Chain A
Amino acid sequence: MRIIPPQTSRGQYPLPESKHRAKICFSEEKKTAGGNHRKRSNVYILCYIWKTEGRMSCKASVTCLQLSSLKRAEKAPVHLMPCEIEHNGLAQVSQYFTATAKENKKGTKTDRPVFATDKTVSFRGRGLKGQEISCPDGYTGLVLKEVDRHGSDQEDRTVKVTSVFDKLTYWNLETPPTSDDTVVMAMDWPELAEAIHGTVED
């Protein structure tokens, strides 16, 4: 999961990015009129609002976000999987995944920081345990799709927003979700960043 925080006038501070770059997040796709067909597209998840004009730049290239697409985007359920799926495109998420996922309430007596309820599902015969978490306060998740470069050589890239989310479900391979999980802890960063880099009142 790639996370990009807003830039401030102080300059850039470390931009978080998930080490497992290709960990696929996929969102539910509605069945299109002509049936499901695969499109070549790159899907990334950003967990921050793009506060400035919608540009991210570093030394070599510029990536532009079409802000107009943000207005049109709708909320979508998003799942973070504990595996790499070598596929970029449509998938029958609601038919196979959402339809078979089950919610379970846990007992109250635990000595580990487990959540009160979690979800169970199987993916390709592997048992997964999941939990819904929210995006940090003041931030929105974006599902981006790269706008075709038409084979141009330039390094500048353009993305548009296909859907937004304010919460997502992350899935562990077999182990029950706890607040020690990496993605849950990663959500600490914006608050900490604000404390470190935010404006200080005199």
Chain B
Amino acid sequence: MDLKQFEADNSGSFRLASRIPDVCRTEDCCLGVDEAGRGPVLGPMVYGICFCPVSKREELKDLKVADSKTLNEAERENLFQKLDEAQNYVGWALQILSPNMISTSMLQRTKYNLNALSHDTAIGLIQYALDSGVYVDTVGPAEKYEEKLSQRFPGIQVTVRPKADSLFPVVSAASICAKVARDRVVKGWNFAEDLGEIDADYGSGYPNDPKTKEWLLKYLDPVFGYPQFVRFSWSTAQTLMDSKAVDDDEEDGEKAAQRQNNRSMLSYFSASAEGDRAQQTHRFFSERRLKSLKSL
């Protein structure tokens, strides 16, 4: 799993894949999709797929790829090694979504929420692989997702089931790939910000972890907020900023809208010009937002 390219620029979205085993191109395959790091306020979210021929499902099961949530980091690394070694019949692919990408997508003007982002990422990976018979873990209501995927991939049998990673080995395998990738990325996170030695003791990265909250407070800058390791769209991050950082109002924010709408009721009643109303400025100036300066 060569993450060097992502380490060099960890501000966007990055795809990484194994070589596609030859048998996967000739035999019917089953493909599992799972994700890692959806909940934390720190670090990337990783989507992983894992696929192998249907005929090799038992072999995959023998690798003992159990539900990755019950394994520790070392055990997961070990299992990923095994998957990697089984490269003649197991293939995998990952999509790493950086915290910066999550923040900017969720906060942009035409909001791109996390569910939509997740679905599109999963679909992108599936499209990438050649597949038939897809087992998918669920985000959002299972039936809707299954319907969406069935429409997107006609001719493929799609199953969306909660806790699929504990039911189907190929999904467990995908889960392992995703989690291992996330753990490695978080461990080797290269802070693009120029802040000297950064304390790596941020706990689990989950918003309810007191150690994580402590870390967030430690690295909270009143103007810039946090390093790009943090997901700004998370309410934990925003709440802390609301209380500790200076206010900022974007062009599309509420205050800007209020300023434009604020007019005294009386302005609707008076027919004559008030006091010293400024001359009507030419459109040339107003469209360039230039106007007469009377004082600093």
Contact = CB atoms under 8 A, between A and B. Distances in A.
Interface of A: 2-4, 14-20, 42, 44, 58-61, 63, 82-87, 91-92, 94-97, 99-100, 102, 122-127, 144, 146, 155, 157, 159, 173-174, 182, 185-186, 188-189, 192
Contacts of A122: 11, 100, 103-104, 228, 232
Interface residues of B, number: 48
Interface of B: 9, 11, 100, 103-104, 106-109, 192-195, 221-225, 227-228, 231-233, 237, 241, 246-253, 255-256, 281, 284-285, 287-296
Q: Tell me which of B107, B222, B248 has the highest count of chain A C-beta atoms within 10 A of its own C-beta.
A: B248
Contacts of B232: 122, 124-126
Contact of A15 (B11, B288, B292): B292
A186 B248 contact: no
A157 B288 CA distance: 28
Contacts of A14: 281, 285, 290-292
24 contacts: A14-B291, A17-B292, A18-B289, A61-B295, A84-B249, A86-B247, A87-B246, A94-B194, A95-B194, A96-B223, A102-B11, A124-B225, A125-B232, A125-B233, A125-B237, A126-B104, A126-B108, A159-B296, A173-B252, A185-B287, A186-B290, A188-B288, A189-B290, A192-B284
B294 A58 contact: yes
Contacts of B193: 95-96, 99-100
Contacts of A44: 296
B248 A86 contact: yes
A124 B288 CA distance: 27
Contact of A173 (B109, B228, B285, B296): B109
Contact of A125 (B107, B284, B285, B295): B107
B292 A126 contact: no
Given A16-B288, A17-B290, A102-B11, A95 B103 contact: no
A52 to B, nearest CB: 15
Given A95-B193, A96-B224, A99-B192, A19 B289 contact: yes
A126 B291 contact: no
Contact of A16 (B9, B100, B293, B294): B293
B288 A125 contact: no
A63 B224 contact: no
A127 B249 contact: no
Given A19-B289, A99-B192, 7 more contacts: A16-B288, A20-B289, A60-B295, A83-B249, A86-B247, A95-B193, A126-B104
